[in-house]
Homo-oligomer: A and B are copies of this chain.
Amino acid sequence: MAMKCALSEELPVDEYLITEEPYYVPVGNEVEIFTAAYKNLLPVNLKGPTGCGKTRFMEYMAWKLQRPLITIACHEDLTATDLVGRFLIKGESVEWSDGPLTKAVRAGAICYLDEVVEARKDTIVVIHPLTDDRRIIPIDKLGIVVKAPDEFMLSVSYNPGYQSIVKDMKQSTRQRFVAIDFDYPPAELEKQIVAHESKVDENTATQLVEIGQSIRNFKHHGLEEGVSTRLLIYAGKLIQEGIESKEACRIAMAKPITDNPDLQKSIDEIIAAIME
């Protein structure tokens, strides 16, 4: 069978280097802890809710430590093969192509498995020999074992609020990571972030953060998860674009997070009260 393939150029790992300092404002000592773990070859687990800045933090640390960052969004259909690599058709031949995890190991990059508990069990096991003394990744399909250089680091995130019994991390996996807690930034800091990212004035940013914090209090009254900093920024952007401010808040903050009409009404009242 003759084969021709127009598109397959493999991008070099440099692609994954972050060259500009990402906008990140530390909340506590998370930068120091991550750095200490990195130096001691300890894997790190970032625990926290959706949209509170975990991904941005990883970008910041990768920039600070000057390592490429390879991010993998985990999901139920992600297999060990997706991580490790597979044979791909290249022109008239078939060539091995490293998966993102193998690429990270070889390049001494930081590999970040986002929402790791969503992945299938065989994915998790692939990281076990990378997270103890061995620091190796076995590539069954090539019959080889690759040893990670000291520059390589494995980091995962997960959201403790989600976890059901079915989708929990096994203790034999958990106990391979040090864990850093993440949460929404404190009001003053979040205001600064919202203003910076959406270009709204300080007063609007203050109101948006106030609304966000009020909504988060509903979490114990039926709301599955609080509103993320990202959505506050969305609301700010719509306001900047000329959408009426209360409408912008409803569209970016009330409707996305719940389908429950009662909760939506309560959130609308909060918006009306704060954003006059």
Give residues in A with beta carbon < 8 Å to B. 1-11, 15, 29, 32-33, 36-37, 39-40, 42, 45, 47, 50-51, 55, 71, 73-80, 82, 87-89, 92-97, 99, 115, 118, 120-122, 124-125, 128-129, 132, 140-145, 159-160, 162-163, 170-172, 174-181, 224-225, 227-228, 230-231, 234, 237-238, 240-243, 247, 251-252, 255-257, 259
Q: Which residues in B have their C-beta under 8 angstroms from that of A50?
A: 171-172, 175
Contact of A94 among B3, B11, B75 (CB under 8 A): B3
Q: Report yes or no: B82 in contact with A140, Cβ–Cβ below 8 A.
A: yes
Judge whether B89 and A94 touch: CB under 8 Å.
Answer: yes
* Nearest-Cβ distance from residue A116 to partner chain B, whole angstroms: 13
> Are A33 and B238 in contact, CB atoms less than 8 angstroms apart?
yes
A247: contacting residue among B29, B179, B240, CB under 8 A: B29
- Given A3-B94, A15-B145, 19 more A-B residue pairs with CB atoms under 8 Å apart are A1-B1, A2-B92, A2-B93, A4-B94, A7-B144, A33-B243, A33-B251, A37-B238, A40-B241, A42-B234, A71-B129, A73-B125, A74-B125, A75-B122, A75-B125, A78-B125, A160-B259, A176-B230, A178-B252
Indicate if the CB atoms of B10 and A143 lie closer than 8 Å: yes
Given the known A-B contacts A125-B75, A231-B175, are A5 and B95 also in contact in the complex, defined by CB atoms under 8 Å?
yes
Bound form: Cα–Cα A142–B121 in Å: 25
21 contacts between A and B (CB under 8 A): A3-B93, A4-B95, A6-B96, A9-B144, A33-B243, A36-B238, A36-B243, A50-B171, A71-B129, A73-B129, A75-B124, A76-B121, A77-B80, A78-B125, A87-B89, A159-B172, A162-B171, A174-B257, A175-B228, A175-B230, A175-B256
Cβ-defined contact, B96 with A5, below 8 A: yes
A260 CB to nearest B CB, Å: 9
Contact call A255/B8, Cβ cutoff below 8 A: no
A77-B79, A125-B75 are known contacts. Are A180 and B142 too (CB-CB below 8 A)? no
User: Provided the pairs A7-B144, A143-B10, A180-B255 are in contact, do residues A120 and B77 lie with their beta carbons within 8 angstroms?
Assistant: yes
CB < 8 Å neighbour of A122 from B76, B87, B238 = B76
Contact of A256 among B4, B118, B178, B259 (CB under 8 A): B178
How far apart sit A143 and B9, CA to CA, in the bound complex (Å)? 7
The reply to whether B4 and A257 form a contact with Cβ atoms under 8 Å apart is: no
When distances are taken between beta carbons in the complex, the residues of chain B under 8 Å from A94 are: 1, 3-5, 89
Residue of A79, A178, A242 ringed by the most chain B CB atoms within 10 A: A178
Shortest A234–chain B CB gap in Å is 6
Smallest CB–CB gap between A21 and chain B, Å? Answer: 14
Point out the residue from B36, B79, B227 that lies within 8 Å of A175, measured CB to CB: B227
